[in-house]
C-alpha cells in the first residue's frame, strides 16, 4: 500500500506547475511605460532638431548653360510675288480653263468671255471703215472735178469771157470739195482705230496667265457676268513660286530695335507642331501698324519651301535669333526676382538683410543671413539669365522657407519684381 502511494506521489511531481497570469501583464505594462515615453521624447527631439536645422531659404545653384535670346512674333506666310489676273472688258464667262491649284505657265489660257458681242463689234467697225473709204473716193472725185472747173474758169476769165464772180465761185467749190476729201481721210483713220479697238476687245475676251505659277484663288464661275466699267475685277490670283515664300511678322515696337536684316530665325505652324522651319530676316519695314494702341512693324522673312508643306495664309510663330551665348554663368530668373522687404526682419531665427541700393543683385545664404551680391546681367531666354559677379556652383536664394500653417510669409522677407 505504501509503495502504491509513493508511485502516485512521484507521478504527480512530474506535472509542471501553472504560472500566474499577473506576471505576464506586468511585463507588458512595464514595456509600454518604458517604450511610449521613449518614442515621444524621440519624436519631440526630431521635431525640434528639424526646426532648428532645416534651411531657412530655398536656393538654386549658379550653373553654366547655353543661353539664346529671341524676339517672338506672330506672322502670316505669303508667296514672294502674287499676281492678280483681271479682265479689261466686260462680258459673260463662257469657258474656264483653270481652277484652284492649277499649275500654269505664262500665256496659258485661263478663261474665255462670250465672244459674240466682241465679234459683232469687229464686224460693225469693219463696215464703218469700208464706208469711210467709199466716202473718201467720192470726195476725192468731187475735189478733182472742182479743181478742173476752177482751172478752166481761170483761163476763160483771163480772156474776159466770164466774170470775176464766176471764177470766185469755182474757187470756193474747189475748197469745199478738198476739205471734204480731207475729212474723209480722217474718218478712215477713226474707223480703223475703232476696228483695232474692237479687235483688241475680242482678244481681251480671252484671258491668259501673265506669269508662271500656281492658281491660289478663283473668283468667277461659268455664266457669271464680269463688269470692268470702273475697276478691273480680279478673276484669278496666281502665286509665282511657292518653293520660296515669305513670312510677314508683326514685331512689337519694344523689340524692333534688336531686329535687322540678315538675322536667322525659326518658326512653327499649327499644321506641323513638332517641326521647326528656318527663315532669314529680309527687311524691316518702317511703316508702323497700330492696332488697339499697340504699335508693331512688319518684318519680312525669307523661307524655303522645297516640299511645298507650307501654304499661303498659315500662321507662323516666329523666333528671331538676337544673340547666343555658350557655357556662360547663368541663374534662374527666380533668383533675380527675390528681394527682401524694405525693413530688416526675421523668418523664424533667420535674419534677412534688406537692400536699398539700386542695380541687379542676388542674395546668397551665409549661415542664418541672406547677403546681397551685386551682379551684372546679360541676355535671358525667359527662364535663365546670364550673370557676372557670382561663380558657377554658388547657392543663391530664390525664396524664404515659410512655417507650416501660416498663410503668408512673415513680415520682413519676400519676393518682389
pLDDT band at 48 (very low <50, low <70, confident <90, very high): low
Our measurement of the distance from residue 89's CA atom to the centroid of its chain's CA atoms, rounded to an integer in Å, reads: 37
Segments forming the whole domain that contains residue 228:
84-114+205-240
**47 falls within a domain:** no
Provide the percentage of residues in the chain whose pLDDT is more than 90: 58
Place of cell 467720192: 138
What tens digit of pLDDT does each residue of 135-178 get?
Answer: 999 998 998 998 998 888 888 888 888 888 888 888 899 899 99
Beta pairing class for 103-104 and 234-239:
unpaired
Q: How far apart are CA 336 and CA 283, in angstroms?
A: 35
Query: Would you say residue 111 has pLDDT above 90?
Result: yes
Query: Would you say residue 380 has pLDDT above 80?
Result: yes
Q: How far apart are CA 335 and CA 6, in angstroms?
A: 96
Side-chain half-sphere CA neighbours of 9 within 13 A: 6
- Of the listed ranges 33-37, 155-159, 330-334, the least confidently predicted one is 33-37
Same domain, 156 and 221: no
pLDDT of residue 245: 96
- Exposed / middle / buried, residue 15 (Cβ in 10 Å: 0-12, 13-18, 19+): exposed
Same domain, 121 and 146: yes
Same domain, 279 and 310: yes
Query: Would you say residue 43 has pLDDT above 90?
Result: no
- The dihedral region occupied by 278, where left means phi > 0, alpha psi between -120 and 50, and beta the remainder, is beta
Q: How far separated are the first and last CA of the chain, in Å rounded?
A: 110
**End-of-domain residue from the set 324, 349, 369:** 324
Same domain, 145 and 104: no
Q: What ranges in 116-265 are assigned the alpha helix state H?
A: 116-158, 164-204
Same domain, 198 and 121: yes
What tens digit of pLDDT does each residue of 280-308 get?
Answer: 999 999 999 999 999 999 999 999 999 99
Is residue 128 within 8 Å of 189, Cβ to Cβ? no
Same domain, 126 and 108: no
Strands, E, within 22-62: which ranges?
57-61
**End-of-domain residue from the set 156, 179, 203:** 203
Q: How far apart are CA 210 and CA 96, in angstroms?
A: 16
**124 falls within a domain:** yes
Q: How far apart are CA 139 and CA 116, in angstroms?
A: 35
Same domain, 282 and 260: yes
Q: How far is CA 31 from CA 25, 27, 45, in A?
A: 10, 6, 21
**End-of-domain residue from the set 291, 324, 357:** 324
Count of structural domains, the chain = 4
Strand partners, 208: 109
Same domain, 320 and 366: no
Same domain, 224 and 333: no
pLDDT of residue 93: 95
- Report the CATH number that the domain containing residue 231 is assigned in CATH: 2.40.50.100
Q: What is the pTM of this model?
A: 0.63
**32 falls within a domain:** no
pLDDT band at 94 (very low <50, low <70, confident <90, very high): very high
pLDDT of residue 53: 46
- Report the CATH number that the domain containing residue 311 is assigned in CATH: 2.40.30.170
Same domain, 189 and 309: no
Same domain, 132 and 273: no
Same domain, 235 and 89: yes
Q: How far apart are CA 356 and CA 372, in angstroms?
A: 10
Amino acid at each position: 500500500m505504501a509503495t502504491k502511494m509513493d508511485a502516485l506521489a512521484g507521478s504527480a511531481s512530474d506535472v509542471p506547475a501553472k504560472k500566474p497570469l499577473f506576471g505576464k501583464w506586468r511585463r507588458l505594462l512595464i514595456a509600454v511605460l518604458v517604450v511610449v515615453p521613449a518614442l515621444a521624447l524621440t519624436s519631440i527631439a526630431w521635431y525640434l532638431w528639424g526646426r532648428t536645422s532645416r534651411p531657412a531659404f530655398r536656393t538654386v545653384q549658379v550653373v553654366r548653360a547655353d543661353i539664346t535670346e529671341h524676339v517672338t512674333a506672330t506672322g502670316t506666310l505669303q508667296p514672294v510675288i502674287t499676281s492678280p489676273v483681271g479682265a479689261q472688258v466686260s462680258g459673260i464667262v463662257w469657258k474656264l480653263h483653270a481652277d484652284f491649284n492649277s499649275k500654269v505657265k505664262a500665256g496659258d489660257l485661263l478663261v474665255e468671255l462670250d465672244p459674240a458681242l466682241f465679234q459683232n463689234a469687229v464686224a460693225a467697225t469693219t463696215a464703218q471703215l469700208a464706208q469711210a473709204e467709199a466716202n473718201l473716193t467720192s470726195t476725192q472725185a468731187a475735189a478733182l472735178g472742182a479743181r478742173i472747173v476752177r482751172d478752166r474758169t481761170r483761163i476763160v476769165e483771163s480772156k474776159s469771157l466770164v466774170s470775176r464772180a464766176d471764177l470766185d465761185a469755182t474757187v470756193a467749190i474747189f475748197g469745199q470739195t478738198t476739205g471734204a476729201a480731207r475729212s474723209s481721210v480722217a474718218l478712215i483713220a477713226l474707223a480703223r482705230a475703232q476696228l483695232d479697238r474692237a479687235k483688241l476687245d475680242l482678244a481681251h475676251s480671252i484671258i491668259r496667265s501673265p506669269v508662271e505659277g500656281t492658281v491660289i484663288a478663283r473668283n468667277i464661275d461659268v455664266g457669271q457676268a464680269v463688269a470692268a466699267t470702273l475697276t478691273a475685277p480680279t478673276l484669278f490670283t496666281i502665286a509665282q513660286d511657292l518653293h520660296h515664300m515669305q513670312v510677314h511678322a508683326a514685331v512689337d515696337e519694344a523689340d524692333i530695335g534688336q531686329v535687322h536684316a540678315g538675322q536667322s530665325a525659326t518658326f512653327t505652324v499649327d499644321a506641323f507642331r513638332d517641326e521647326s522651319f528656318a527663315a532669314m530676316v529680309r527687311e524691316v519695314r518702317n511703316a508702323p501698324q497700330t492696332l488697339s494702341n499697340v504699335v508693331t512693324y512688319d518684318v519680312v522673312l525669307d523661307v524655303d519651301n522645297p516640299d511645298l508643306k507650307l501654304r499661303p495664309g498659315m500662321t507662323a510663330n516666329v523666333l528671331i535669333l538676337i544673340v547666343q551665348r555658350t557655357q556662360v554663368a547663368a541663374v534662374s530668373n527666380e533668383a533675380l526676382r527675390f528681394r527682401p522687404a524694405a525693413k530688416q526682419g526675421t523668418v523664424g531665427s533667420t535674419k534677412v538683410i534688406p537692400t536699398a541700393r539700386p542695380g541687379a543683385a542676388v542674395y546668397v545664404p551665409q549661415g542664418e543671413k541672406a547677403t546681397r551680391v551685386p551682379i551684372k546681367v546679360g541676355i535671358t531666354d525667359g527662364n535663365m539669365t546670364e550673370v557676372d559677379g557670382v561663380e558657377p556652383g554658388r547657392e543663391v536664394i530664390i525664396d524664404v522657407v515659410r512655417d507650416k500653417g501660416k498663410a503668408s510669409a512673415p513680415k520682413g522677407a519676400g519676393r518682389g519684381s
